[in-house]
Amino acid sequence: MIQFSDASVTYAGGVHAMQHLDLTIEQGEFVVIVGLSGAGKSTLVRAVNGLVPLTGGSLQVDVRPGRSLGGRSEGEPTSYDVVGLTGRRLRDLRAEVGMIFQGFNLVKRTTVLNNVLMGRLHRVPTWRTLLGMYPADDVELAMRALERVEIVDKAYVRASNLSGGQQQRVGIARALAQEPSIILADEPVASLDPPTSHAVMRYLQQINREFGITTIVNLHFLDLATRYADRIVGLRNGELVFDGPGSAADEHVFRDIYGRSLTADDVMGEEERGGDAEAVVTPPTSPA
């Protein structure tokens, strides 16, 4: 469970990116946050893992290690009071929260596998990381994460040699390799074409359903939001202006959230339309 209570974030420049937010997200929910650029979407997801500290109110994150790739047994639930969390405890929380980024944030010069192994850093002893000698179990787990997003055949390819959609799948695998109980995705499809975007959203949805991982996704495109979200949260100027099931979010609601009429730019479009259909849509052929 993630619980914001009267939470606020004011940046050094005086921008109120989050204002008196009360929001509770239950374990296993698939929540899509919508709003214009600057509405506070990024701030909200980055607050959950402490990348952006709250300047007011409180935030409690309960993690419950559940079913996951490695079949990690259900551990004791742990409760984190995120405000003021530092050092080891903060890193413990972050290890339970996978994150997916708009720009993928992969190390482009190194292999796909090394990027996914980054998701294991919290578990692997530092001396092993320094020498690049990851335990076989962790490598296996990374491979399983890659398999889950159907890109395991690229494990030893340099990340820079992948297409955007493939890189984002590596990003998902990296998050999955953490065996997280929460996944945060900050505009995961903003740099992708429509078919690839739908594929990425489907992976996120499947992972959410299969492993019961709480998933929070920031999106700009309202058709993607209504299609994949169990629940939509609308933000405007750092304030919560809508909270309801995906089915309840119609055009009027979006007009309220965006504070203006909708335009073609607010719709992603169907996957049949749009640019080059890359391997993301069809499962890659496994090497013989």
Partner 1 sequence: MSATAPSRRVARPDEPPPSRFGVAMGVLFVVMTALSVVSTGFSLDGIIEDLGRRNDSISGLLNIDLSVITSTRTLTAFVETLQMAVVGTIIGGAAALPLALASTEVGARTTTVRWLVRAFNNVVRAIPDILWALLFVAMVGIGVLPGLLALVFFSIAVTTKLTSDVLDGIDLGPVEAADATGAAHVAKLRTAVVPQILPAYSSFLLYNFELNLRASAVLGLVGAGGIGTRIEFYRSAGRWPEVWGIIVLFFAITFVVERLSIMFRRRLV
Using rule CB under 8 A, residue 52 touches partner 1: no
Strands of 78-81's sheet in order across: 16-25, 2-10, 56-63, 78-81
Using rule CB under 8 A, residue 106 touches partner 1: yes
Using rule CB under 8 A, residue 103 touches partner 1: yes
Among 4, 30, 80, 104, binds partner 1 (CB under 8 A): 104
Q: Select 94 or 144, whichever has its Cβ closest to partner 1.
A: 94
- b vs e for 23-56, b when ≥16 Cβ sit within 10 Å of the residue's Cβ? bebebbbbbbbbbbeebbbbbbbbbbbbbbebee
Q: Select 124 or 277, whichever has its Cβ closest to partner 1.
A: 124
Of how many residues is the chain composed? 288
Binding flags for partner 1, 171-200, as an x/- string (CB under 8 A): x--x---x----------------------
144 vs 70: CA distance, rounded Å: 8
Q: Give the dihedral of Cα atoms 24, 237, 188, 192; nearest 10 deg.
A: 150
Amino acid of residue 187: E
Q: Select 218 or 226, whichever has its Cβ closest to partner 1.
A: 218
80 sits in which H/E element: strand 78-81
Q: Select 155 or 225, whichever has its Cβ closest to partner 1.
A: 155
Q: Select 138 or 271, whichever has its Cβ closest to partner 1.
A: 138
Using rule CB under 8 A, residue 19 touches partner 1: no
Among 55, 60, 105, 191, binds partner 1 (CB under 8 A): 105
Structure-token match 């990374």, residue found: 142
Binding site for partner 1 (CB under 8 A): 49, 51, 90-99, 101, 103-110, 114, 117-119, 121-122, 124, 126, 129-130, 171, 174, 178
